[in-house]
């Protein structure tokens, strides 16, 4: 394949018109949608309208007149369509960490009622740190244990003391993707519930929560959903669990006023709302929700072009092109692929290990190729080599809504130039910024 072939692929790409929906800086190859999605063009105007008109003129009346009170529910229904859930099953608001606390607490409460002897939360050692921190806190405060295992050992670790298996669908470092349905079936067979983190999945890979008979899921609004920095997150619970919580009055632990059955009755005691609404806490950020809604509108625009199936196919083609090109052009420069080659095991990102990973990425960013760096951590040995922990990684996210094939090609060429020239060895690239 040549660069001209990539240009031809972009010309014939049925998803190509979606790129125009984003405000992408000229001369920048943006391969970091796995950390922060690009800005939809419509977002700035939408926020200006919400600020000047709905807030400025409508004032508090806009909760009714502009439909603010139902905004989170409308966005939740759109997200539901991307993750294989039904309308009315997804709650939008708070952060991923807060929603994980709610979902994991609810799962533990259900297991405490059914199998009180089960006292272990099982997770992958390479899971995203906030997930592990939340689980560690819940384990400590509930007299439970947090057990961490290598990804390949999870099945063997599903012993009869495990209450909840907590996993991120696509590993944030390596891009390795669990088989959500198979992992869920295995956990259920072992008597455990499963809480899934879809932060690196929603909007990037097809997800079918209901089809997989999953239990709980949370996800992020600012990565592939393009909702802006710190965008609201989401939480989903299978209807069998919310129904049981309704019947048995089992609560998630953060009983906020908008999760009340009748919040504007202003009753002094809490009565949980029915279904997923009980997972709502406080007043949502209308400005943040308005921005997230703009990000979700692009997915609606993708439907006539093949929807998630087409997005997934392009994502895999982009990442495969990048892997092949980097390996062909960057031999003998100390790079090692840690992302699975098998399409079915790969999310929408590619990670290469390199001993000078941070400096290499800074040199790329100076050239206008924006990815990110994820450092290794050797403080928790697993007894085997684990690229999810031990390596310094160059991470490149491929968002098919706006990433072109020629972008993948050119990024690989820039990476070759950075490594071959040795420019990354400059002292200025080694100075660590607060955010990597």
Q: State the catalytic residue, choosing from 223, 278, 325, 404.
A: 223
Catalytically annotated residue among 32, 197, 372, 386: 197
Q: Establish whether 102 is a catalytic residue.
A: no
Helix orientation angle between 286-302 and 41-49, rounded to the nearest 10 degrees:
140
Closest by CA to 202, choosing from 66, 78, 328, 47, is 78
Placement of tokens 């539901």 in the chain: 80
Is the dihedral angle over the CA atoms 58, 62, 65, 71 positive or is it negative?
Answer: positive
Active-site residue, selected from the candidate residues 22, 30, 101, 128: 128
Catalytic: 112?
Answer: no
Look at phi and psi of residue 93 and say left if phi exceeds 0, alpha if psi is from -120 to 50, else beta.
Answer: left
Which letter, b or e, does each residue of 373-384 get, where b requires 16 or more Cβ atoms within 10 Å of its Cβ? bbebeeeeebee
- For the question of residue 30 being annotated catalytic, the response is no
Concerning whether 358 is annotated as a catalytic residue, the answer is no
Catalytic residue among 374, 395, 404, 416: 395
CA atoms of 18 and 299, how far apart (whole Å) = 9
Catalytic site residue 197?
A: yes
Residues 6+ apart with CB under 8 A from 142: 108
3-state SS record for 209-265: CCCCCCCEEEECCCCCCCCCCCCCCEEEECHHHHHHHHHHCCCCCCCCHHHECCHHH
Residues carrying an active site annotation:
128, 197, 222-223, 395
């Amino acid at each position: 394949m040549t660069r001209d072939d990539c240009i031809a692929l972009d010309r014939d790409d049925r998803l190509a018109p979606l790129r125009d929906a984003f405000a992408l800086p000229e001369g920048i190859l943006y391969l970091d949608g796995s950390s922060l999605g690009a800005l939809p063009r419509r977002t700035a105007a939408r926020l200006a309208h919400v600020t000047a008109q709905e807030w400025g003129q409508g004032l508090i009346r806009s909760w009714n007149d502009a439909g603010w009170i139902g905004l989170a529910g409308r966005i939740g229904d759109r997200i539901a369509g991307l993750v294989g859930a039904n309308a009315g099953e997804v709650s939008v608001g708070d952060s991923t960490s807060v929603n994980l606390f709610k979902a994991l607490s609810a799962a533990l409460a259900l297991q405490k009622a059914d199998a009180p002897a089960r006292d272990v939360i099982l997770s992958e050692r390479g899971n995203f740190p906030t997930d592990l921190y939340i689980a560690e806190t819940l384990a400590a405060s509930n007299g439970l244990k947090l057990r961490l295992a290598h990804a390949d050992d999870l099945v063997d670790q599903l012993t009869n003391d495990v209450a909840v298996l907590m996993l991120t669908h696509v590993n944030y470092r390596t891009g390795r993707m669990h088989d959500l349905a198979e992992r869920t079936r295995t956990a259920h067979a072992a008597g455990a519930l499963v809480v899934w983190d879809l932060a690196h999945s929603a909007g990037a890979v097809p997800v079918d929560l209901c089809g997989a008979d999953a239990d709980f899921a949370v996800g992020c609004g600012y990565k592939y959903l393009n909702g802006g920095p710190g965008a609201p997150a989401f939480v989903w619970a299978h209807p069998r669990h919310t129904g049981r919580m309704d019947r048995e009055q089992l609560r998630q632990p953060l009983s906020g006023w908008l999760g009340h059955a009748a919040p504007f009755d202003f009753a002094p005691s809490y009565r949980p709302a029915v279904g997923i609404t009980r997972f709502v806490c406080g007043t949502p950020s209308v400005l943040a929700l308005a921005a997230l809604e703009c990000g979700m509108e692009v997915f609606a625009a993708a439907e006539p072009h093949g929807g998630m199936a087409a997005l997934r196919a392009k994502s895999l083609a982009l990442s495969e092109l990048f892997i092949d090109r980097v390996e062909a052009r960057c031999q003998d420069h100390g790079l090692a692929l840690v992302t699975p080659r098998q399409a079915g095991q790969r999310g929408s990102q590619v990670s290469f290990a390199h001993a000078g990973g941070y400096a290499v990425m800074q040199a790329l960013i100076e050239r206008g190729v924006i990815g990110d760096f994820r450092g290794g951590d050797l403080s928790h040995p697993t007894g085997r080599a684990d690229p999810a922990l031990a390596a310094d990684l160059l991470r490149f996210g491929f968002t098919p809504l706006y990433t072109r094939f020629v972008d993948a090609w050119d990024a690989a060429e820039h990476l070759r130039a950075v490594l071959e020239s040795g420019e990354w060895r400059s002292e200025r690239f080694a100075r660590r910024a607060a955010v990597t």
